[in-house]
Chains A and B, each alone.
Chain A
């Protein structure tokens, strides 16, 4: 096609920015809606403390919004970015950054609505536990943002690191694949982390004295639920920093793109599944504190099994990168 390099870079940056903000707006809105719905339920159950519930809802929604704010930051950067030495690889990097941040914000946004909503509902049931609930909600929903933060980091790296010296043909696919890998894998982990955080707020409202075990188990559960997104980050780093030899075959770039897609899509399910395992364990620890170590062990074993599909995806991605 007869476009100049600058035009192609602008096309990629603008469409990347559009994708980042467009997809990034999905998650937070759903999460905030859920928080508001639970807050309504909470007010109707216990109208006397509607002021506290309202405050708690706003705080929860503000945190749920942060994933979208990350997307907004990346979008603004993409709209105004000017590469110092323009090359076609910059176009691929900008498109990858947009895809990464757009997909990466979905899960954390939806997930972070959960602890907010459950904290509001818990407040109506157990107003005295208000401070523990708020602390727990803040920790839970902040940890929920980790996958979105990973996505933002990969997007920033794609925008600011100079890939100019690398061979164009396989590297363009590697950069888009790097974006897709972290971005897609963050969906499941973000949502799964939110499930665990929501269950912990519900559990603390039920038995406030179990707060230490519940918060500890929530943090471990969320950390393990984030494992698929960490695998995604690993594949992204390999794709960004490995130098690929120049090749004229179509096969090589497709393998790299496929590696990113494989890890990204393969990470969604295990993230949600791990989150569900953590949700169940956290919810029942609150009702049965004495058996918290048994529950934790079963949760970890269950998560390890549900995670094995993410490990298959990682192995296939590594094979696609290093062998094919």
Chain B
């Protein structure tokens, strides 16, 4: 049971500091990138009015996500942010699903991945807010309702990154730990296929959707 909490790390000394790279996470992330790029190329290949299955799948995913973004942000902004939303959702979905294949690990199981994605969403939301409202109106919101609430508003804003990234990380890590413990206790005989389906496919899909929607919603709260 020693596997819980062990990472394969590559530590490079760099002018007195250690640069730590979690090799498995990097490899898995690039694997997910690779699958997505191949899928995208296939969906684009020989486009026609009568779509073949892969093209139809791609069109379905993109149109559903595009509509969701349009509902939250309105027509104009959706054009700008929908590609980001589609890419985020597809990356997260595949990342969460990749763990159901033995020996592969979800990149989202590492806090660095989810925290990075949360940080991206946070920066984009605030950039959008500053751009649409102007810096003055944007910064004024931190002094609502009274000026001395500023530090608390700031902490509340920063806590959003913590909550969005820990939500995904906790769910995916939790699922894999529960699967690990159950397989250890039952000698991999009884439950794991069902648990893989629940935590990998079901929870993975829901959490990918929640993460994506929350990113969109954070943008829309900043914009309006």
Contacts and interface: CB of A to CB of B under 8 A. Distances in A.
Contact of B217 (A213, A230, A300): A300
B5 A161 contact: yes
A48 B210 CA distance: 38
Contacts of B113: none
A209 B209 CA distance: 21
Contacts of B59: none
Given A150-B174, A160-B181, A219-B209, A296 B167 contact: no
Contacts of A297: 220-221, 224
Contacts of B156: 304, 307-308, 311
Given A153-B178, A230-B162, 11 more contacts: A142-B198, A146-B170, A149-B178, A153-B177, A161-B4, A216-B213, A219-B210, A220-B213, A220-B214, A227-B159, A300-B221
A230 B209 CA distance: 18
Main secondary structure of the interface of A (DSSP, over half): helix
6 contacts: A152-B178, A156-B178, A157-B5, A293-B72, A297-B221, A301-B221
Chain B, interface residues (CB within 8 Å), range: 35 or more
Contacts of A311: 152, 155-156, 159
Of A150, A219, A223, most buried by chain B (CB within 10 Å of CB) is A223
B206 interface: yes
A169 B31 CA distance: 45
6 A-B pairs with the lowest CB-CB distances in the bound complex, closest first: A153-B174, A227-B163, A223-B210, A230-B166, A160-B1, A230-B163
A317 to B, nearest CB: 13
Contacts of B217: 220, 296, 300
Interface string B139-179: 00000000000001001100100110011001101110110
Nearest to A151: B174
A160 B166 CA distance: 21
Interface string B194-215: 0000100011001001100110
A160 B4 contact: yes
Contacts of B71: 213, 292-293
B86 interface: no
B68 interface: yes
A215 to B, nearest CB: 10
Nearest to A314: B159
Interface string A271-315: 000000000000000000000110011001100100110011011
Given A308-B152, A311-B152, A156 B167 contact: no
Interface of A: 77, 139, 142-143, 146, 149-150, 152-153, 156-157, 160-161, 213, 216, 219-220, 223-224, 226-227, 230-231, 233-234, 292-293, 296-297, 300-301, 304, 307-308, 311-312, 314-315
B174 A152 contact: yes
A142 B202 contact: yes
Nearest to B175: A149
Given A153-B170, A226-B167, A231 B159 contact: yes
A156 B177 contact: yes
A223 B214 contact: yes
Contacts of B198: 142
Nearest to B155: A311
A217 to B, nearest CB: 9
Of B71, B159, B177, B206, most buried by chain A (CB within 10 Å of CB) is B159
Contacts of B224: 297
Contact of B220 (A224, A293, A307): A293
A219 B162 contact: no
A150 B178 contact: no
A149 B174 contact: yes
Contacts of B167: 223, 226-227, 230
A146 B210 contact: no
